[in-house]
Structure formats: structure tokens, C-alpha cells
Amino acid sequence: MDNQRLILLLVFSFSLIMLWDAWLKQGQPKPVVQQPVPTVSTAQAPPSGAVPVPVAGSAAPVVPGTTAATVSSAAKITVKTDLFEADISALGGDLIRLELIKHRATGDASHNFVLFEGKHAYAAQSGLAGGNLPNHRSNWILPAAGLDLKDGQDVLRVRLESATADGVKVAKTYVFKRGNYEIGVEHEIQNNGAAALSPSAYFQLVRNGQAPEGTSSGMMSGVSTFTGPAFYTEAGKYHKVDFSDIAKDKAKAPDKADNGWIAMVQHYFVAAWIPEGKDQREFYVRKLGDDLFAAGVILPMASIAPGASGKLVTNLYAGPQVQDKLSKIAPGLNLVVDYGWLTVIAAPLFWVLEAIHGVVGNWGWAIIGLTVLLKLIFFPLSEASYKSMAKMKLLTPKLTKLKETYGDDKQRMNQEMMELYKREKVNPLGGCLPILVQIPVFIALYWVLLGTVEMRQAPWLGWVGDLSVKDPYFILPLVMGATMLLQTSLNPAPPDPIQAKIMWIMPIVFTGMFLFFPAGLVLYWTVNNLLSIAQQWQVNRMIERAGIKSH
């Protein structure tokens, strides 16, 4: 039985080692493959003439490329709002840089976080398909100067224009709204030609396969965070696509639907094209070049007769993965906050944590409140387990005597130990039950702290300025280690000297691992230990006063 208990403890240790390894990987930037400045494919431009662009109904949409020199030399304007500082390029009218003013950069709080940028070739592109209509390789006429959202102004419209040889005029307008991470993108066509037009519009997100600094790649296994495209339709539900599968031509986009959206997901943030209405749409995902990928959606436009005009509006969400807001923007968009295989525990855990935060106003105190609440929920189970452990502690002298008497006969010793447990009505594995119950909660909370942007750079007390990263001074892990040592002293010592040594070594090993865990997780475990110590001490006193029946 003691060997079984040791195995359970080793399983728990292995689980923590896996989490520790994952957290170390999460904190190490992946080497970045040097990418050219362009935000689109580096393939050479085809000869002059018709530009191959996505065509609605095609089995494999073709995305045009752009040379590095062309992109780097293109003019651009900068748009400033209360949430964004955005760069829009004259080439394609693409959104090539997007700085989030309300969020600090990873590892450098002196700068703002940048979502779209050249280092990862990350950009939001859109264009029209059909005839000679402009696409993301065409030149657009920008406003004369950059635009700012003025005080008292709720909406900022940035209009780009393009004209084709046959007299058709096209405008692309970005609509920025105060306090809103959704950016409207409008395509307007004025048909001054002699023939009717039947265009379609495409919207895509382009990015290389490298994970953002300070995160793990979606191509890695384990508990790493995901980076890559994601789709959602009512029929196909939420579906992630690995960059590695796209590179191997194994990725599959959803079937055509009259609903759904496409997104590019990374740690804490997401960009998503969310079409309006119930128009039939076609999704695609493809490799554009070496370590460069695109995921997009194609929308048809109604036929535009000569002298008439047409308009198509879609929305681009580009911002933090705030769950309650995402769920209101589009069905299933909140699913980009991925808790992995323990979502069934992590999702309600975060819901409770958020509710507590609404009362206390601080995520650190909310974690403490959640810990107390979980301890109350598991109180009956914990109490029974601590009673079993307290009885085991009182049995230690008798177990030691059995070992001395039958040390050379392992089978007889085990039989006598089983008889002793049966007589005293003690379950030698009872003390392991609280640990086993806490493992899934522990891992689920790890996912919550790792995956929710609300925890990102959230402070608790003075020295803990970010609950989602390690304690900078290792105070919490050391306190946690001390509580584990104290808790070990309250537990019954195993009769086997090797097991007894392991019981005392484990707190030291765990302290070393917890040095690299997010401070919020260490805070949870420390408070949980303190509550367990208080409960176990009280139970030990009760058992010692009552004594134990002996035969």
C-alpha cells in the first residue's frame, strides 16, 4: 500500500514537472526566422495583365504576391484613436501595423503591444476579385495626411480610393470607433462602365509561422499556447489549423456556409474577419511562400449594373481575447480563449474567478477568494482524508515495529500491515485523495492564468506586478516551499526510510519548480497549503485527544 502511495506521489510530481517544462518553454522566445519587411508573399509579381485573385466558387483560391521592394517603398498613413495607432499602406490599402495603446508590450512595459507588424509579416488584407477591380496588390490613393480621433469624436472614417481603366471607381473605407476593437471595412463600387459587374470581395490575414515572443508555438505539443489560423461556422464549430499542416498541404478550411468567421490566434490576442449578414461565404487557408501563410474568406457582391453602385461591409476585430466581449461580437468567437482538454473545469473556474474579481477589484485577491471557496467545497473530502492521515501518524510506531519484526519477510509484513489497517479502520491512501482531486483544478487554473488576457500584467501586491509571470523575487515560491515542509511534518512518516526521505525532498523539488511558475498559480498553491495546514493541525489535535482504538 505504501508503494502505491509513493507511485501516486510520483505521478503528481511528474505532472508538475510537465507543467514546469511547459512554463519554461512558454517563457523562452523561439528563434525568429528573418523575414522580409513585406506583409504579403515574397513571390515575384506575375507579368502585367490580369492579376490572379481569389474567385468565389473556386476550389483553391489564388492569392497574389508582392515583392519586398514594392512593399517597402509604398507610401502609408498613420491613424490614431483611443485604442489604436494603425499604419495603412497605399499598396493594397492593407492594415500593415497595429499598435494597441491600452496594452503593454510583452517583457517591456515601456512600449505598447503591437499586433500587426513586419517582423512576423502579419497584416490584414482585403480586395476585390473580378475584372480589373483593385486588390491588395493595387495602388490606392491615401488621404493627404494621417488622421486622429479627436476629443468628442466617436467615429473616424479613413477613405482610400482607386480607379480602374474602364471607369469603375472603388473606395475602401476603414471605420474606427471609440472604445471598440472592431474596425469596419467598407468596399464601395461605382460602376461607370458599360457592362454589369459581378464582383466578390476577399478578406485575409497573412502571417508567418513563428510564435510571438514570450510564448510557445502552436506546433508544439503539451500545454503550449496556440498560434495560427482558426475558423468557425455553425456546422463545423470552432476549428484550429496548425501552420505545420498548411505547410504540408494537409490543412482543410470549412465548407461553404452563410455564417462564420476566420481568425489568426496568438497568445492573449486575436484578429478576426467577421462578415455581416447571411451571405454565402467561402473559406480558404494556404501557404504563400517560405514560412508565410494566409487564411481568408470570400464574399460575393450583388451584381452592379452600369451607372449603379454597390457596397459590402465586413468587420475586423483586432485586440485582446476578453471573453465576455468576444462572445457578444460573434457566435463562437470566445472559443479562441483555449483552455485545452480541461476546458470543462477551466471555463467555470474563470467564471467564478471573474465574479470574485468584480467584488474585490484585484485578481490576486480574487485568486485567494477562489482558493478559499474551493477549500470549502472540498471540505468534507479533505476532512475525511486528514483524519485518515492523522490516524496513520498515530500508527507509525506500530508500523515501525512490524517492519522490525518482519523486515526479512516482505509478504508477511504486508499481510500484517493490511490486518493492522483493517483493525484500525485506516485507509493508507486516504491522505492522497486531496492531492488527486487538486491536480485537475491545479492544471485548469494554470490554463486560466496562462491563457486569459485579464491576467496579463495584472498586479497583486507591491512586488508582484504581473500574476501571469514568475515572482521576480521568488518570495511566493519560497513561502510555498516552507508551507509544504510544514505540511509534511504534520503527515505520518512512512515506515520505509527511502519513502520518508522522498517525502522531505519533494517540497524542495517543488519549490525549485515553482520558481518559474506564474505568480498567480503559486499564490493559489500557497494559500491552499496554509488552509490545509490549519485544517490538518486541527484534525490531528482531535484525533490525538480521542486516541485510537488498539487491539
The vertex-541 CA angle with 4 and 10, nearest 5°, equals 20
pLDDT band for position 216 (cuts 50, 70, 90):
very low
Among 528, 226, 540, CA closest to 369: 528
pLDDT for residue 280 is more than 70 = yes
Structurally, how many domains does the chain consist of?
Answer: 2
Query: Does the pLDDT of residue 300 top 90, yes or no?
Result: yes
pLDDT of residue 45: 33
CA atoms within 13 A on the CB side of 425: 5
- Domain membership of residue 123 (yes or no) is yes
- Whether 209 is covered by a domain: the verdict is yes
Residue 30 lies in a domain: no
Where is the domain boundary, 338, 361, 378?
A: 338
Residue 346 grid cell = 477551466
Residue that is last in its domain, among 338, 370, 402: 338
Q: What is the pLDDT of residue 386?
A: 67
Is the residue at 56 inside a domain?
no
Shared-domain flag, residues 334 and 357: no
**Is residue 48 predicted with pLDDT exceeding 50?**
no
Residue 219: which pLDDT band, with cuts at 50, 70 and 90? very low
Q: What is the pLDDT of residue 405?
A: 82
Residues 110 and 178 in one domain: yes
H helix intervals, 378-518? 379-406, 410-424, 433-451, 475-490, 497-514
Q: Considering the domain boundaries, does residue 88 fall inside one? A: yes
pLDDT number for residue 275: 96
Q: Please say if the pLDDT value at position 13 is more than 60.
A: no
CATH of the domain at 82: 2.70.98.90
Name the burial class of residue 164, with classes exposed (0-12), middle (13-18) and buried (19+) by CB atoms within 10 angstroms of its CB: middle
pLDDT at position 269, please?
Answer: 96
Q: Indicate whether 309 and 429 sit together in one domain.
A: no
Burial of 311: CB neighbours in 10 Å, binned 0-12, 13-18, 19+: middle
- pLDDT tens by residue, 487-521: 888 776 666 677 778 778 888 988 998 898 889 98
The boundaries of the domain holding residue 209 are 65-338
- According to the model, what pLDDT value does residue 431 have? 57
**What's the number of CA atoms in the CB half-sphere (13 Å) around residue 55?**
10
Is the same domain home to 71 and 118?
yes
| Spatial CA neighbour of 470 closest among 445, 444, 449, 448 | 449
Is 171's pLDDT higher than 50?
yes
pLDDT attached to residue 259: 96
By mean pLDDT, which of 176-185, 283-292, 338-347, 359-368 is the weakest? 338-347
pLDDT at 360: 96
Whether residue 35 has pLDDT greater than 50: no
Asked if pLDDT for residue 140 goes beyond 90, the answer is yes
pLDDT of residue 322: 93
Residue 94 has pLDDT above 50, yes or no: yes
- Look at 63 and 118; give whichever has higher pLDDT: 118
Q: Report d(CA 8, CA 525) in Å as an integer.
A: 19
Residue of higher predicted confidence among 129 and 68: 129
In this structure, the answer to whether residues 92 and 184 fall within a common structural domain is yes
45 falls within a domain? no
Q: Is the pLDDT of residue 534 over 60?
A: yes
Tell me the C-alpha distance between 202 and 299, whole Å. 6
Is 86 in the same domain as 107? Answer: yes
- In this prediction, residues 19-39 reach a mean pLDDT of 40
Summarised one tens digit per residue, pLDDT across range 472-484 is: 999 999 999 999 9
Most confidently predicted of 19-28, 401-410, 441-450: 441-450
Weakest-pLDDT range from 6-10, 72-76, 359-363, 527-531 = 6-10
- Joined together, the cell numbers standing for residue 172 give 475602401
Instruction: Give the pLDDT band of residue 212 (cuts 50, 70, 90).
Output: confident
Of the spans 162-171, 213-222, 232-241, 407-416, which averages the highest pLDDT?
Answer: 232-241
Per-residue confidence (pLDDT) for residue 535, from 0 to 100: 81
Do 224 and 95 fall within a single domain? yes
CA distance 551 to 416: 13
Alpha carbon distances (Å) from 302 to 7, 59, 180, 399, 434: 67, 21, 29, 84, 63
Residue 61 has pLDDT above 80, yes or no: no
Same domain, 212 and 234: yes
Res 7: pLDDT: 42
pTM for this prediction:
0.79
Last residue of a domain, one of 280, 310, 338: 338
Calculate helix-pair angle for 410-424, 379-406, nearest 10 degrees: 140
Contact (CB, 8 A) for 104 and 113: yes
Percent of the chain past pLDDT 90, that is, above it, reads: 52
| pLDDT of res. 12 | 53
Is residue 258 over pLDDT 80? yes
* Higher pLDDT among residues 274 and 41, named by residue: 274
Alpha carbon distance 102, 82 (integer Å): 8
Compute the chain's Rg from CA coordinates: 30
Q: What is the mean pLDDT of the chain?
A: 82
Q: Are residues 334 and 424 in the same domain?
A: no
C-alpha cell at 141: 490613393
- Are 367 and 420 members of one domain? yes
**Cα–Cα distances in Å, from 369 out to 349, 471, 492, 531?**
12, 20, 30, 12
User: Does the residue 537 lie in any domain?
Assistant: yes
Statement to judge: residues 378 and 503 lie in one domain = yes
Mean pLDDT of 516-536: 89
Rounded Cα distance between 158 and 181, Å, is 16
The answer to whether residues 394 and 424 belong to one domain is yes
Phi first, then psi, for residue 76 (nearest 5°) are: -155, 160
